[in-house]
Amino acid sequence: MTVPMLAVETRQRLLSELPREKLAWMLARMCEIRYFEEKAEDLYVRGQVHGTMHLSIGMEAGSVGSIATLRPEDLIIHHHRGHGHTIAKGANLTTMMAEFLGKEAGYCRGRGGSMHIADIAGGNLGATGVVGGGIPTSVGIALALQMRRSDKILLSYFGDGASNEGEFHESLNMASTWKLPVVFICDNNQYGMSMHVSKVMNIEHVSERAASYGIPGRTVDGNDVLAVYEAVLEADERARSGQGPSLIDCLTYRWRGHSKSDRNLYRTHEEIDEWKTKCPIRRFKGVLTEAKIMTADETEAIDQAAKAAIDRAAEEALTFPEPSPENMEDEVYAL
């Protein structure tokens, strides 16, 4: 698959336009996502987590680069591999870790877990575990924004596998027909569990599908946080100005297996190792130091602060009490 690279001049423009604090924010979130995932894996291996998890190690640029374009009041809806979006949208790390650990103090009071973290108050309208299941819901969220004449927009995330679901087709068509304020973002890690995209669609890029809905479609280097930022920002402006949705295909790679049951039988270690050389965090650090926006010490300080924040969050969350099964049935329905 060919990946269009961000033009040198565009990168330079972004690096000069974006405030240093913003760039530091992006790097910090990417590092937090990486350390959160590694901590999650570690807790799992040590038997402290009940259930499964879907790690996005290697995919940090997609969630951070896109959410960095948003205003604080904007909204996201995402999917089972959603730790990255949640952190990028500004989740409290301890509350998030508590949810991962199934604690009452977690975002969903231990009812949702890794696959369903939502921070409604923070504009994170939740992760759906059914592939593509969040896409139709995002039509309704964006419809409500439009009907209320809001200037907020929604980023709707799904994976490459989801783009083969009927719900994808129905939803992109509807959102396009109604010019809804939503940006559809495909976190294209190239595998739907074990199936490589090339085996399950007869086109090169998911973004080509945009043509059938009469909306712009772009494939971007999903391991380049600035490339993602640039593409999504353009799509945001279109959505916010009433011109309707876009489809952004962020080409990336997950280093870990699909979930904990994965033995990587469908890909080679060489392939995984090759993608590790394209690590989005290391790349972004290099960009920042090369442009002399930060020194290596400064990027390292951000990195270590992120690690410490995750360690603190986990340490604290582990001490939280378990939820009680009492009155569980009373919570199913709203009064």
Report the interface residues with another protein, using CB under 8 A. 77, 106-112, 116, 118, 120-121, 125-126, 128-130, 133-145, 147-148, 166-167, 170-171, 173-174, 177, 329, 331-335
104/298 with CB nearer another protein: 104
Nearer to another protein, 43 or 180 (CB): 180
Nearer to another protein, 130 or 308 (CB): 130
Q: How far is the CB of 1 from another protein (least distance, A)?
A: 29
Quote the least distance from Cβ 71 to another protein, whole Å.
Answer: 17
Query: Which residues does residue 192 pair with via DSSP β-bridges, in sequence order?
Result: 195
**265 vs 334, which CB is nearer to another protein?**
334
* Phi, psi for residue 248 in degrees, rounded to 5: -110, 125
5/211 with CB nearer another protein: 211
- State how far the alpha carbon of 123 is from the alpha carbons of 15, 74, 91, 215, in Å: 27, 6, 10, 25
**From residue 50, how far is each of 44, 117, 242 by CA, in Å?**
8, 15, 44
* Counts of helices then strands in the chain (DSSP H, E): 12, 8
Is residue 227 classed as helix, strand or coil in its secondary structure?
helix
Q: How far is the CB of 105 from another protein (least distance, A)?
A: 10
The burial of 247, by beta-carbon neighbours within 10 Å (0-12 exposed, 13-18 middle, 19 or more buried), is given as buried
CA of 286: how far to CAs of 27, 106, 130, 197, 292, in Å? Answer: 11, 35, 37, 30, 10
- Shortest reach from residue 30's CB to another protein, in Å: 26
Beta carbon of residue 119, minimum distance to another protein (angstroms, whole number): 9
Least Cα distance to 82 among 43, 119, 44 occurs for: 119
State CA 203 to chain mean position distance. Answer: 24
Q: How far is the CB of 128 from another protein (least distance, A)?
A: 7
Closer residue to another protein, CB minimum distance, 86 or 190:
86
Count of CA atoms in the C-beta half-sphere (13 A) of 45: 6
Q: Token digits for 236?
A: 């945001």
Three-state secondary-structure class, residue 49:
coil
Q: Residue 56 carries which DSSP code?
A: -
Closest to another protein by CB, 178 vs 255, is 178
Residue 181 C-beta: closest distance to another protein, Å: 12
Question: What phi and psi, each to the nearest 5 degrees, are found at residue 135?
Answer: -65, -50
For another protein, give the closer residue by CB, 109 or 278. 109
Q: What's the min distance (Å) between Cβ of 174 and another protein?
A: 4
Nearer to another protein, 326 or 329 (CB): 329
**Token pair listed for 18:** 């974006």
For residue 225, the minimal CB distance to another protein (Å) is 28
60: left (phi over 0), alpha (psi -120 to 50) or beta: alpha
